[in-house]
Copies of this chain bind each other. A is one copy, B any other.
Amino acid sequence: MSIQQQIHDSEAVKNITAKEALFVIKIGGNIIDDATKLQNFLHHFSEIPGKKILIHGGGKLATQLAKDLGIEQEMVEGRRITDAATLKIVTMVYAGYINKNIVAQLQSNGSNAIGFTGADANLIRAHKRLPSASKGIDYGFVGDVDEVNTAAIEPLLSQNISIVIAPITHDGKGQLLNTNADTIAQSIATAMGSKYDVSLLYCFEKNGVLLDANDDNSVIATINPSYFIKLKEEQLIFAGMIPKLENAFAALEKGVGKVIIGKAESILDLVKAKAGTTIQIN
């Protein structure tokens, strides 16, 4: 074998084995509703080296604004129905107030960032959920993700600009849609998996997946599919965590490198897999 051939082969191996790292991080309402916690989180987020995407949820601000405006919020099975007035509110709060304040704070931390909804650069195309797909319930202007257009953000990521995504998508026909932030995080992570070594981090109020829901120190370090089955059988994980973990396994099967669930305050440890629960399939 020629030296050129050897170099070529070693480069090829390198391309296969060493994709660049990308962190896809989802933060929820408990961080967004607390100005000091959010500020601290964004300060830490800015310190994470390399490529980063942040997906934020909505927090209580949208509910409060609806209340202040006297717009009644209809809940079905614990989920909000997004009528036209509610869509207007979540678009204002998520894509306007929360998204732009996060971007401005990241800039103040020396971290270049740009805010997105699914409509911007056609990043996330969705369709309005049909009542037939949700037990006959009409959730209104709620979107289920069809497609992530990675080309919309790759040139920005390659300039080391972080992407901050509000949970609003569009249907390509001019209609904005309210979309679950966890789902967006998973869709983005999966779509980016072909090019990057993606770690998907779900930040919430607990230290990780707990063996004992009342003991925040009982964090399970790693969960693989067989352990997940055991935990379910022994009823050691609570109901709300099961779909989250099922989503995590689905993401791993679709090419996401790593999924970690943990506390937003520990984000700098989570990115090193030194805290939280790591979900793995092998």
- A: residues with CB less than 8 A from B are 68-69, 88, 91-97, 99-101, 103-105, 107-108, 112-117, 119-122, 152, 155-156, 159, 161, 168, 170, 172-176
Contacts and interface: CB of A to CB of B under 8 A. Distances in A.
Contacts of A161: 121
Contacts of A152: 114
Contacts of A96: 91-97, 99-100
Contacts of A88: 97
A97 B176 CA distance: 10
Given A107-B122, A108-B172, A108-B173, 10 more contacts: A68-B69, A69-B69, A88-B97, A92-B93, A92-B96, A95-B96, A100-B168, A105-B174, A107-B172, A115-B117
Contact of A174 (B94, B107, B170): B107
Nearest to A177: B104
A242 to B, nearest CB: 34
Contact of A104 (B101, B112, B174): B174
Nearest to A149: B112
Prevailing SS type, chain A contact patch: helix
A170 B174 CA distance: 29
29 contacts: A91-B97, A91-B100, A91-B101, A92-B92, A92-B97, A93-B96, A94-B96, A95-B95, A95-B96, A96-B96, A96-B97, A100-B168, A101-B176, A103-B117, A104-B119, A104-B176, A108-B172, A112-B121, A112-B122, A114-B116, A114-B120, A114-B121, A114-B152, A115-B115, A115-B117, A115-B119, A121-B156, A121-B161, A155-B156
Contacts of A100: 91, 95-96, 117, 119-120, 168, 176
A72 B23 CA distance: 43
A164 to B, nearest CB: 9
A96 B170 CA distance: 14
Contacts of A95: 95-96, 99-100
Contacts of A176: 100-101, 104
